[in-house]
Amino acid sequence: MRRYPVILAAFITLAAASGSVRGANEPVKKLVTEWNREGLFDSTTTRAELLEMGRSAVDLKHYPLAEIYFQEALLRTPTDVDAMCELAALYKRTNRLEYARGLLLRAGSLSPMRTGIADMRRSVDAALFASLSHTVDSLMTAGHFEEALPRIATLLSIDSNSIPALVAKSKCLAATGQTDAALSSIDLAIARRPDEELHKLRAEIATRVEHDRISDMESSAKRLIQSGDWVRGEAVDVLQAILAQDPSNEWAREEFRRLATPTEGADSLAEAVPPSTAVSRAVHSVMPDVTSFLDRYLLAILAFFAAWALFRSPLSRALARRLHEPSTLAGDVSHISIAAVLRTANDGGMTGVLTVKSGEGRSRVYLEHGEPVHCEALGKKGREALVELLREVEQGTFELVPRKKKVKRTIEDSFQIILTQADPHAASAMGIATARQPKKSRMAELLETGSEK
């Protein structure tokens, strides 16, 4: 391993000599590129060799080359604690303390038992804290408070109990308008070290917070005043709140006096208002919070009650039921006969209205539990209309909607009897025998014969 410093020194000398031919001010980056082009390390170079060459470059004070070797080792093995420590030492030497601290934090988490890592981290933290403190002071002096805040956060990550860092954070937050956060920071500093100067600083920040709050209320009052007389009560309330916190506020006092004092026109208008308005004003004076709420949300309340009344009305429920009623049977009479539709309804015990549209007009059959109870078809009503409908209508469309509707019963016979009389062939095809008709007795035949004579 001792050959690497010699080789390293030889190549640096060659690179420097070639650089003197091309110019003495050649960038270091070009030297690094030529170095790697010579193939001093490749995929076969071991981890130990990379670390040794990096240390040799550090000894020769060629830090960019040393960084390349250490970074190559970390690229190959991201958890290489030795490479992290070597690179952190290089960053410390080149005053890149934040990078060094980050590497040491990671190395310490991977190898917490190595005391050398903790010692180096304490040394880096001390140097970084001093450097950042000086940078923060310079930024705050120049008025760059936003830029100082991230550096203060790093200071507090190094030492969370640092009173100067907490005070600087509070000042920067207050300067950037974050007064509530500034109060929290200064309160934390006071809790850790009660001090008269800290209390004085807190009082200054609290005064600024109060000033900002009053400014916000003044802006709200101005918007309300510009909105018109219908929000005069709210404007007066805001002005009262301003005067309660700042009695010396001349603008709030003048505006409150102007709005609270009624004018002559307002007096004459008050005399001319109807009794109902006078009553409402009296209620407003007794219950200002309730009436203020009603004034703001009256339209929304009325809209709610109107919608509630609409959706609770029988008409809306009927319309909704009508819209959501499904059509259980619908089709073309040329494909499905009316007799078959009624047979299906009869088997299912359905209650509803069968509507048939044909060239002869519109016909309706009212069903209860599958049995026809009334029919209006072809200009007729009752049983005769249903028989004619079954016999005559062979073209058109039908729709059976389940709907319970009370009608006067005009059909007493069952569907099977009516179908047998209207179309015996259809009844036979559906399994309804014509013998199902009630057979007349001998006495009935004799009586009919006697009546005919």
pLDDT of 220:
84
Return the percentage of the chain with pLDDT > 90, whole number: 26
Inter-helix orientation angle 179-192/163-175, to 10°: 160
Q: Which pLDDT does position 15 carry in this prediction?
A: 43
Task: Tell me what pLDDT residue 132 has.
Answer: 92
The type of residue at 223 is: R
Mean pLDDT of the chain: 76
Q: CA 33 → CA 28, 188, 204, 271, 350, distances in Å? A: 9, 52, 58, 96, 92
Per residue in 344-370, pLDDT (tens digit) is 888 878 888 889 988 888 899 999 888
Q: pLDDT tens-digit profile of 157-176?
A: 999 889 999 999 988 988 88
Q: Find which of 51-55, 243-247, 324-328 is predicted with most confidence, using mean pLDDT.
A: 51-55
Dihedral sign computed on CA atoms, order 290, 292, 295, 297:
negative
Task: Give the lowest-confidence range in 5-9, 182-186, 358-362.
Answer: 5-9
| 279 vs 107: which has the higher pLDDT | 107
Kindly list the domain boundaries of the chain, sorted by start residue.
219-263, 288-324, 327-436
Percent of the chain whose predicted confidence (pLDDT) is above 70: 71
Q: Which residue has the higher pLDDT, 182 or 1?
A: 182
Question: Is pLDDT at 382 greater than 80 in this prediction?
Answer: yes
Cα separation, 78 vs 76, whole angstroms: 6
pLDDT number for residue 92: 92
Dump pLDDT digits (tens) for 101-138: 999 999 999 999 988 899 999 999 999 999 999 999 99
In angstroms and rounded to an integer, the radius of gyration of the C-alpha atoms of the chain is: 50
Residues 415 and 343: their CA atoms lie apart, in Å, by 8
β-pairing verdict for 397-401 and 380-381: unpaired
